[in-house]
Amino acid sequence: GDSVTQMEGPVTLSEEAFLTINCTYTATGYPSLFWYVQYPGEGLQLLLKATKADDKGSNKGFEATYRKETTSFHLEKGSVQVSDSAVYFCALSVAGAQKLVFGQGTRLTINP
Amino acid sequence: DGGITQSPKYLFRKEGQNVTLSCEQNLNHDAMYWYRQDPGQGLRLIYYSQIVNDFQKGDIAEGYSVSREKKESFPLTVTSAQKNPTAFYLCASSDRVGHYGYTFGSGTRLTVV
């Protein structure tokens, strides 16, 4: 079946460090890929998405590239801020599957 | 502005009582979903609905019930049969295909004492 595997957390970095959160997937069809962010006590917000191979999603300094050959969608940011502290979820959607499949989430903490 | 509204944000109930969580959307989305999130864990799908008057069980439907009488509304009832109901509940909606991602509500934290 369809599945998403994320890098295990928690991840702790200093402000202005480079961030990578790994995400790989298995899908029976041709998926769309997403990154969501969840701040404490809140729901999930869509951070970025990519719908076809080699597409790059970007938002708020975060980027992720849809790599079909390696079935990956790693999240990156060049210089993190304390306000980026949150839980990040990678997810996929396959047309006709009727539901989004989430990874287990990665908790990110940025220290000043 | 369009969005999803979950209410209440915090809910306390005594053990053995049924409780209903509200979810309303004005995005004109066909599909709606309920997820459960436990501390430090990912999201688990409880129920989903692709169209009015139709819904399907997700991965952890036991002890829960839903209805979809209107396109805008998808209430979740946590019944007394749910053995461990204390959790954070998230509602989401999407277009029918879901290929452009979900929009989530801000969640309801249910505590059963």
**How far is it, in rounded angstroms, from Cα A112 to Cα B60?**
40
CB atoms within 10 A of CB A30: 11
- By the 8 A CB rule, do B47 and B55 touch? yes
Q: How close does chain B come to A29, measured CA to CA in Å? A: 12
Nearest chain B residue to A40 by CA distance is: B106
Q: Interior CA angle at B111 toward B110 and B113, to 5°?
A: 150
Residue from the list A43, A45, A95 with its beta carbon closest to the beta carbon of B97: A95
Give, in order, the Cα–Cα distances in Å from B7 to each of A92, B39, B83.
28, 20, 22
Kindly list the residues from chain A whose CB atom is less than 8 angstroms away from the CB atom of residue B42.
89, 102-105
Out of B33, B101, B107, closest to residue A49 by CB = B101
Tens of each residue's pLDDT in chain A, 112 residues: 889 999 888 999 999 999 999 999 999 888 999 999 999 888 999 999 999 999 999 999 999 999 999 999 999 999 999 999 999 999 998 876 667 889 999 999 999 9
Write down the mean pLDDT value for chain B.
92
Closest alpha carbon to B92 in B7, B11, B5: B5
Q: How far is B107 from chain A (nearest CA, A)?
A: 6
Chain A residues in contact with B92 (beta carbon < 8 A): 43-44, 100
Beta-sheet strands, E only, within chain B: 4-7, 10-13, 19-25, 31-37, 43-51, 54-57, 64-66, 76-78, 87-94, 103-104, 108-112
The number of CA neighbours under 13 Å toward the Cβ of A89 is 24
